[in-house]
């Protein structure tokens, strides 16, 4: 495996249905940990990023029932059974099992936050923006890599880290110039030595095929391919079922308990144009399940060093639409959890819901940039320089005052 030792092996994520994690290559663990930053690249903290694809309705998840306008805007969605958080906000009942975490200060939210993306409210552009982590000043077609990838590139000690990803859809969050791997635990590649030799030669002239096959063979060797390969369930794309969450979370938790420091994956099912009460509950239940299973899977010690950030491309309209759902909006909610979190709080300035206070008289007005919260979390977890965060990881971001979201 000498060829891989000097390569900058990385990780690209996955997306849509499953997720990805970044982990040290089992064969290179010691090399990895002996990098820059005093020999322990990234230190001991864990960061888990979940992209909620489809635009989660933050106003329904963390309901501002203390705002008199809420009941007017949300006549059928307002849920009187929602548990009280702080006398002003209430939590959607499908997140009910998270209340003990809230009580322990290990669950928190940022309200009225968004990326700098405005106005056209396209999922696809919105997600690219979120994952790219750049501001509107950089044309999207010039933004090639995602912010986590850029973060990892700034850390010299990570040059030999390998990141694995699970899943079928590429995730720009981790995409970048660094080499990237895309692999799911159920994939295997059984080739005889002669077949490897032949493929090596046959792919030589095509860099894309050559790199992908090399990585596939290395990953198969690394023991990530024990399971039967044709086992993928085509119904998966319809939505994340609990078994999928289980498989994904267990894989990520296993890696995070060892050498991995960052994991990122995405969950779908948030585009609730119609009959939101049912659809949102299901998606929240899956997210709740993922959070609780991560907590258990990481164990008390690692969970205590972990921050989980779940963010979405934008929020949804302040008003219910005509079909008991909501359309694409602007300001929304970021969900945070973990033992390293200073939780039990709803962060962010509340803009109010009166018509004059809405963005374009339609959406919750964003009062913060979601990237700033992520940047402060990363700074707190890994001690990364503010200049690097504002210029390289999130170009053009103004982080502002530290909101102290970490313990």
Partner 1 sequence: MSKLSTLAAIRFGYGLPQPKGAPESAEAMLAMLAGSDEAMRTLPIRNSAELIPNLQELRQIQKAGKKATAKNPKRNALLQDFSNAAEAAAVVTFARALDSADGFRERLTTFWADHFSVIAKRQLEALFPYALVDDAIRPHLTGNFADMLTAATLHPAMLSYLDQSSSVGPNSHFGKNQNKGLNENLAREVIELHSMGVGAHYSQTDVTEMAKILAGLTLNADLLMQFVPRRAEPGPRALLGKTYDAVGLDNIHAALRDLALQPATGQHLARKLAVHFVSDTPDADLVKAIAAAYNGSGGDLMATYAAMLNHPAAWVEATEKARQPFDFMVASLRALGVTGEQLQQMPYKQFRGQVLTPMAGMGQTFKRPSGPNGFDEAAEEWITPQGLARRITWAMRVPMRLVQPLPDPIALAQYCLADRASEALLWGAARAEDITQGVGLVLASAEFNRR
- Rule CB under 8 A: which residues touch partner 1? 12, 16-17, 119-125, 168-170, 181-184, 187-192, 194-195, 198-199, 201-206, 208-209, 212-213, 215-216, 219-220, 229-230, 232-234, 236-238, 268, 273-274, 321-323, 325, 327-328, 360, 362
For residues 34 and 195, which CB has a smaller minimum distance to partner 1 in the complex? 195
Q: How far is the CB of 1 from partner 1 (least distance, A)?
A: 15
Q: How far is the CB of 305 from partner 1 (least distance, A)?
A: 30
Alpha-carbon gap, residue 407 to 402, rounded angstroms: 12
Q: How far is the CB of 34 from partner 1 (least distance, A)?
A: 26
3-state secondary structure 121-174: CCHHHHHHHHHHCCCCCCCHHHCCCCHHHHHHHCCHHHCCCEEEECCCCCEHHH
For residues 36 and 189, which CB has a smaller minimum distance to partner 1 in the complex? 189
- Size of the chain, expressed as the number of residues it contains: 407
Contact (CB, 8 A) for 196 and 50: no
Half-sphere exposure of 109 (CA within 13 A, CB side): 25
Q: Which residues contact 167 (CB under 8 A, 6 or more apart)?
A: 13, 14, 15, 16, 17, 18, 19, 20, 182, 184, 248, 265
Q: How far is the CB of 181 from partner 1 (least distance, A)?
A: 6
For residues 5 and 238, which CB has a smaller minimum distance to partner 1 in the complex? 238
Rounded to 10 degrees, the C-alpha dihedral 312/99/354/327 comes to 40
Alpha-carbon gap, residue 393 to 388, rounded angstroms: 6
Alpha-carbon gap, residue 174 to 51, rounded angstroms: 12
Alpha-carbon gap, residue 210 to 191, rounded angstroms: 15
Q: How far is the CB of 316 from partner 1 (least distance, A)?
A: 11
For residues 37 and 236, which CB has a smaller minimum distance to partner 1 in the complex? 236
For residues 170 and 277, which CB has a smaller minimum distance to partner 1 in the complex? 170
Q: How far is the CB of 222 from partner 1 (least distance, A)?
A: 11
Q: How far is the CB of 396 from partner 1 (least distance, A)?
A: 21
For residues 184 and 379, which CB has a smaller minimum distance to partner 1 in the complex? 184
Contact (CB, 8 A) for 171 and 18: no
For residues 3 and 190, which CB has a smaller minimum distance to partner 1 in the complex? 190
């Amino acid at each position: 495996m000498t060829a891989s030792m000097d390569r900058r092996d990385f990780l690209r994520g996955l997306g849509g249905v499953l997720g990805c994690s970044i982990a040290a290559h089992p064969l290179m663990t010691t090399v990895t940990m002996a990098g820059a930053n005093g020999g322990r690249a990234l230190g001991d903290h864990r960061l888990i990023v979940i992209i909620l694809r489809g635009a989660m309705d933050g106003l329904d998840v963390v309901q501002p029932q203390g705002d008199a306008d809420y009941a007017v805007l949300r006549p059928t969605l307002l849920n009187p059974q929602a548990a009280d958080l702080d006398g002003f906000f209430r939590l959607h009942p499908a997140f009910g099992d998270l209340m003990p975490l809230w009580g322990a200060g290990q669950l928190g939210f940022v309200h009225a936050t968004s990326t700098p993306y405005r106005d056209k409210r396209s999922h696809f552009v919105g997600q690219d923006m979120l994952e790219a982590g750049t501001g509107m000043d950089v044309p999207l077609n010039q933004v090639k890599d995602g912010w986590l990838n850029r973060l990892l590139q700034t850390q010299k000690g990570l040059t030999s880290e390998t990141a694995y990803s699970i899943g079928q859809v590429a995730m720009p969050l981790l995409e970048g110039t660094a080499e990237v791997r895309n692999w799911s635990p159920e994939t295997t590649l059984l080739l005889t030595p002669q077949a490897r030799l032949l493929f090596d030669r046959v792919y030589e002239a095509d860099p894309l095929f050559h790199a992908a096959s090399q990585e596939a063979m290395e990953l198969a060797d690394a023991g990530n391919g024990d399971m039967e390969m044709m086992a993928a369930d085509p119904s998966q794309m319809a939505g994340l079922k609990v078994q999928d969450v289980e498989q994904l979370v267990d894989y990520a938790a296993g890696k995070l308990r060892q050498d991995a420091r960052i994991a990122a994956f995405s969950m779908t099912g948030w585009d609730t144009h119609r009959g939101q009460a049912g659809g949102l509950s299901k998606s929240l239940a899956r997210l709740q399940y993922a959070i609780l299973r991560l907590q258990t899977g990481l164990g008390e010690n690692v969970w205590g060093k972990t921050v989980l950030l779940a963010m979405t491309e934008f929020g949804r309209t302040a008003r219910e639409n005509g079909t008991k759902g909501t359309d694409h909006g602007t300001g929304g909610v970021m969900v945070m959890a973990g033992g390293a979190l200073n939780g039990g709080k709803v962060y962010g300035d509340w803009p109010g819901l009166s018509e004059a206070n809405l963005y374009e008289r339609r959406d919750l007005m964003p009062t913060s940039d979601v990237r700033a919260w992520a940047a402060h979390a990363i700074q707190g977890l890994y001690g990364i320089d503010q200049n690097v965060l504002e210029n390289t990881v999130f170009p053009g971001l103004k982080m502002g005052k530290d909101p102290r979201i970490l313990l």
